[in-house]
Amino acid sequence: MHKLFALVLIPLWLVAGCGGGHGTIGSGGGGSGLSCTAETVTLAEQLQNPVTLFAKDNNGVIIELPSVPAAGIADPSGGVLVFGIGTENNNALGSATVLDGDPNNGNVTGYLNGTSYTDNGFLDSGSNANFFTDKALSLCSSPNQGFYCPMQTIPENATLQGTNNANPIPASFSVANADMLFNASYTAFNDLGGPGINSSELDVGLPFFFGQNVFTGFETASNPTPYFAYGGTQTIAEPGPPNAEPLTVDAGPAGLSPPSVNTAFISVTVCVPGTSTCQTIDHVEVDTGSIGLRLIASVVTVSLPALMDSSNNPLAECLQFADGTSWGSLATADISLPTSGESAKGVNVQLIGAASAGSPPAACTGTPENTVDTFGANGIIGVGPFVDDCDPAADCSPGPQSANYYYCTG
């Protein structure tokens, strides 16, 4: 979720797979005297899942959030983002049930109210509500029309099934009246629901994460199948080295209007590569539904070097989320997590809204989300189940997919 009264940013590769269309989009826009042309980029030129670049604890993440009451709570304490699965004493799968995802898009199959969401169910920490279709539930009036407002709290008996499961497992949740929840001015709710943009998908969002540990296992060379896992007894790790970072669910960056709801944040330190010139940026959203570190350019005060293509042209990217589009230039940085100490060098980063990228080309359509207020965070760290932000084959060809790369000159 990147703003209170709109649907969550869900990259289209997770919703419907990466289109991966071939051919060219052609030049367009660019503004500020720039001309931008779409191009195919190599794996080294794409945004990577930054966790996969860690020296260890790099095969997945666990989001561990405490339980919250049905009426909601302000700024729940005790949340942790744990790096790695089965690599340390604090990140074992334990009794959680593993749901293998489709290798092409990471999705599992969901079931709800007699509908089968075949290969179109997913667990997404970047969704601030559970998004699904239930015509029996009334929508809220404006400005909260992106959420459900039933007269009384309604139980939804959802289930999820991985490609490895003989039977689906429970993923039940409740839906309360969003207008009444928001009137409390809290930041965390376990019963917020809304209609999905696509009626054929079941998006199990952050409300489901409260009170249990939710695992996202990455596609890797040794494990080609991405997966989710949850269930069993919850144990929340202690923040600190070697792999546990504090996770907050609060109102977002100072002055954000409207404030964030059901958005999980960490802080990330970015450094000019190979130097001690660094900046720690707070309120970076943790999203299991996207790939890559993306920062709002206006909050970045260090000068990060531009990422160039093989012809020494500066690269830019248009990333299309479900509720909007972010455009910006690409740079490289060394990153670290201030509490756990996890780190990676030479990470590709998108600087959303950077003046150096000019205006987006005509093919970069969708509602612009290039500022802190429109994005709802100072940035986003995408820790979804893949290594790069195009598709498992690492093919970022120009076309109708969520991540399109450009070189801009002028």
Tokens of 170: 């429970």
Q: Are 367 and 321 in contact (CB under 8 A)?
A: no
- For 16, phi then psi, to 5°, come to -140, 20
Residue 347 near residue 371 (C-beta atoms within 8 A):
no
CA–CA gap between residue 213 and residue 85 (Å, rounded):
12
Q: Could you read off the pLDDT of 260-274 as tens digits, one per residue?
A: 999 999 999 999 999
Domain map (residue ranges) of the chain: 12-409
Pair 188, 346: CB distance under 8 Å: no
Distance CA(320)–CA(197), nearest Å, equals: 14
Range in 146-155, 281-290, 397-406 with the lowest mean pLDDT: 397-406
At 265, list the tokens: 């944040």
* Complete DSSP assignment for 71-106: T-BSS---EEEEE-SSSSTT---TTPEEEEPPTTT-
In this structure, are residues 123 and 97 in contact, taking their beta carbons and an 8 Å threshold? Answer: no
Q: What is the DSSP letter of 289?
A: T
**pLDDT tens sequence across 342-359:** 999 999 999 999 988 888
- Over residues 116-136, the pLDDT tens digits come to 999 999 999 999 999 999 999
pLDDT at 28: 38
* Sheet of 159-161, strand order: 169-170, 159-161, 108-112, 115-123, 202-204, 130-131, 193-194
Using pLDDT thresholds of 50, 70 and 90, give the confidence band for residue 56.
Answer: very high
Q: Is the pLDDT of residue 375 over 70?
A: yes
- Region 380-405: mean pLDDT is 73
